[in-house]
Structure formats: structure tokens, C-alpha cells
């Protein structure tokens, strides 16, 4: 397939480049994702692999690596250790994750992070490992996710300027020589180097004593959102008015599909506590209008507070 990106500048000058690809074409750069929601546990002090992401063959360049999970221990004041390694040689993260202050099985400490690294060309393994503090305690890990994507669009993937406001078209020439113009910058929609992107935020403080979920933030995509694979990212801070009960939170799609759900007990009960929750989730092959919500509730008849809530949805692939 031969693709000819044509950028139309404000002065109507045209700059074209011809790039030849074999196989499918992705305007969003290379990415890979793996997840496992199941529980793993160990009392070993040796590292145990719980998740591996094997990349496709990558061009040399810079890549953003993201990880996410949740842990607890059989004794609330002892840590679980987590590490992220590339090809069993490059240490990206080694950290001790302290579980919440009590031992109840619904207490989980969420963790996540990201970094940008230069990667050599070829296939790479990205591993998430964990171990226990000692053989006297059991460590648990859940909801493991790994995600890698090109950090910068280079000439080896797609070489054109994606300046906001440009009218970007691709002219595809099929084997019969017929031409088909495909517009990548949809009217009224935002365009990033990876595709469609949209965000929502609510920074003010909200609170509830209700045991029924209350909506804090909603992101509604337009009916014209293009078909593809998307990543949803979230972040907010929270407090709870007592330290002997739980606050509840979730992220939902279309009021039916729960992407992630938490029960959290704070160490302190003051309302100036800025505890944080953040993470990401992959949505396969969706398009059109969808609602993504951040909801919160009180589980123990105290006050749950939430503020600085953000949602982002970003296209990372054109879909199947």
C-alpha cells in the first residue's frame, strides 16, 4: 500500500510525502497492551513474574511505558514489593507498596506509573514482578496492566506535522490504481499524533454520605467519534471523614460496564487529606457517543470527599 499524506497550510500551500508500508498502516504509532484482573499471591521473598508484555518488533526510538496494579498483604503494616523490568536486565521500577492499615481482603493499594525510555529495535519483554516482605506474610496483587507506545512520531512511522488546525488527508492508492481520499482531521473533533482525544475535568470539591454511587464527573463523546481502539485515563484526589471505614469509587462506561472499582480506607480522618487514585483502561473497537463516569460513595456512613477529577480518552489504534 502506498500512502501520500498531504498537509494543507493556511496559505493553501501543499506539502506531500510518499511513504511505502507493508501490511496495515497505523497513523498513531506502535503500541502494545496486556492486562490480567486475576489475583496472584505469594509468601516467597524471591521475585515472582505476574505479567509479561511482549512487544511487536519495534523501530528504534523513544517509548512511553505505563504500569498499573493493586496490592495488599495479610498483615496491614507489611509491604508488598513490586518491580518493572525490561528484558530481565533494565530496572524501571522497584518499590515497596504498603497495603492499607487493616487486613481486610477488600483493602487494596492501587499503584501506577510511567516513564519514557530509549528502546533499541526489535522485540522486547516488559515484566511486572512481585514478592513478599517475608515468608511470615502473604502478598497479593490484582488488576495488573502494562502498556507501551511510541512517545514521538518519527520518520520511520509517519513523517508529517500534526499542528492543531491543519486539514490532514491521506490519499490511498489501491492495487487497481483507484484513489480514495480519507480525512483524518474530523470537523469539530480534536486531533493528536495518535488520533482523536477528548478530556473532562471537575476540580471543585464534592462530598456525600450516601451509600449509593453519586456521579462526580462525566465525559460524553460525540456521535462522530471515529471507530478505533481507545485508552481511558483517570485521576482524582479524595478524603474520608473517619479512618475506621471505607470510601467507594468507580469508573464506568455507559452506566453499565465498570472499568475499575475501589474501596479505600484512609490512614487519617482529616478532610485536608489528598489521597490519589489514577489509572488507565483499554477500550477495543468503539465509536460514536459514549458516557464515561467517575462515581463515588460512602460505605461506612461517613463523608466521602472527591476533588481534582480528570478523565481523558485517546485513540491509539484504528481498530480491527
Residues 193, 28: Cα–Cα separation, whole Å: 6
125 and 86 inside one domain: yes
11 and 160 inside one domain: yes
Judge whether 241 lies within some domain. Answer: yes
Yes or no: say if 206 and 213 are a contact pair by the CB < 8 Å rule.
Answer: no
Q: Which residues pair with 132 in a beta bridge?
A: 80
| Predicted local confidence at residue 14, as pLDDT | 34
Q: What is the CA radius of gyration of the chain?
A: 22
Residues 106, 52: Cα–Cα separation, whole Å: 26
Give the CATH number for residue 117: 2.60.120.660
292 and 305 inside one domain: yes
| Predicted local confidence at residue 105, as pLDDT | 57
DSSP 8-state symbol, 136: T
* Number of Cβ within a 10 Å radius of residue 213: 18
| Predicted local confidence at residue 218, as pLDDT | 97
212 and 294 inside one domain: yes
Judge whether 192 lies within some domain. Answer: no
| Predicted local confidence at residue 159, as pLDDT | 35
Q: Where are the beta strands (DSSP E) in 106-227?
A: 109-119, 125-132, 139-150, 167-173, 179-183, 197-202, 206-208, 214-220
Give the CATH number for residue 307: 2.60.120.760
Residues 249, 157: Cα–Cα separation, whole Å: 39
Bridge-based pairing state of the strands 48-54 and 125-132: antiparallel
| Predicted local confidence at residue 232, as pLDDT | 94
Judge whether 81 lies within some domain. Answer: yes
pTM, to two decimals: 0.65
Give, in order, the Cα–Cα distances in Å from 82 to each of 18, 48, 131, 132, 246: 45, 9, 7, 9, 25
Judge whether 288 lies within some domain. Answer: yes
64 and 137 inside one domain: yes
39 and 143 inside one domain: yes
137 and 274 inside one domain: no
pLDDT, tens digit, for every residue of 173-226? 233 333 333 333 333 334 444 578 888 999 899 999 999 999 999 999 999 999
Yes or no: say if 14 and 161 are a contact pair by the CB < 8 Å rule.
Answer: no
Judge whether 120 lies within some domain. Answer: yes
Bridge-based pairing state of the strands 61-73 and 139-150: antiparallel
170 and 269 inside one domain: no
Per 3-state DSSP, what percentage of the chain is helix, strand, and coil (rounded to 5)? 0, 55, 45
Judge whether 303 lies within some domain. Answer: yes
Out of 129, 150, 171, a domain closes at 150
Residue whose grid cell is 479524595: 238
Range of the domain at 35: 31-150
Judge whether 248 lies within some domain. Answer: yes
Judge whether 190 lies within some domain. Answer: no
Question: DSSP labels for 11-79?
Answer: T--EEE--EE-SS---TT--EEEEEE-S-EEE--SS-EEEEEEE--PBPSEEEEEEEEEEEEESSTTSE
61 and 14 inside one domain: no
272 and 309 inside one domain: yes
120 and 77 inside one domain: yes
- Report the number of distinct structural domains present in the chain: 3
Below-50 pLDDT ranges, the chain: 1-27, 153-193
| Predicted local confidence at residue 272, as pLDDT | 58
Residues 49, 11: Cα–Cα separation, whole Å: 56
274 and 135 inside one domain: no
Amino acid at each position: 500500500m502506498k500512502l501520500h499524506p498531504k498537509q494543507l497550510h493556511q496559505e493553501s500551500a501543499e506539502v506531500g510525502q510518499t511513504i511505502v508500508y507493508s501490511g496495515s498502516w497505523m497513523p498513531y504509532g506502535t503500541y502494545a497492551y496486556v492486562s490480567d484482573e486475576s489475583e496472584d499471591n505469594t509468601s516467597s521473598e524471591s521475585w515472582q513474574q505476574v505479567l509479561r508484555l511482549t512487544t511487536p518488533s519495534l523501530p528504534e526510538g523513544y517509548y512511553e511505558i505505563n504500569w498499573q496494579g493493586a496490592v495488599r498483604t495479610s498483615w496491614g503494616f507489611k509491604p508488598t514489593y513490586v518491580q518493572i523490568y525490561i528484558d530481565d536486565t533494565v530496572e524501571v521500577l522497584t518499590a515497596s507498596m504498603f497495603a492499607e492499615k487493616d487486613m481486610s481482603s477488600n483493602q487494596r493499594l492501587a499503584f501506577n506509573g510511567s516513564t519514557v525510555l530509549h528502546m533499541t529495535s526489535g522485540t522486547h519483554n516488559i515484566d511486572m514482578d512481585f514478592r513478599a516482605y517475608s515468608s511470615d506474610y502473604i502478598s497479593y496483587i490484582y488488576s495488573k496492566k502494562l502498556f507501551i507506545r511510541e512517545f514521538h512520531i518519527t520518520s520511520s512511522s509517519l513523517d508529517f506535522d500534526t499542528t492543531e488546525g491543519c486539514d490532514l488527508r491521506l490519499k490511498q492508492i489501491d492495487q487497481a490504481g483507484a484513489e480514495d481520499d480519507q480525512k483524518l482531521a474530523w470537523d469539530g473533533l480534536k486531533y493528536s499524533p495518535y488520533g482523536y482525544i477528548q478530556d473532562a475535568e471537575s476540580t471543585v470539591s464534592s462530598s456525600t454520605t450516601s451509600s449509593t454511587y453519586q456521579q462526580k464527573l462525566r465525559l460524553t463523546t460525540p456521535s462522530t467519534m471515529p471507530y478505533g481502539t481507545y485508552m481511558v485515563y483517570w485521576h482524582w484526589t479524595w478524603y474520608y471523614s473517619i479512618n475506621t471505614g471505607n470510601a467507594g469509587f468507580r469508573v464506568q462506561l455507559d452506566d453499565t460496564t465498570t472499568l475499575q472499582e475501589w474501596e479505600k480506607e484512609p490512614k487519617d480522618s482529616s478532610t485536608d487529606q489528598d489521597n490519589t487514585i489514577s489509572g488507565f483502561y483499554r477500550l477495543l473497537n468503539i465509536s460514536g457517543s459514549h458516557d464515561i463516569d467517575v462515581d463515588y460513595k460512602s460505605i461506612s456512613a461517613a463523608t466521602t470527599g472527591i476533588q481534582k477529577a480528570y478523565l481523558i480518552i485517546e485513540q491509539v489504534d484504528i481498530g480491527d
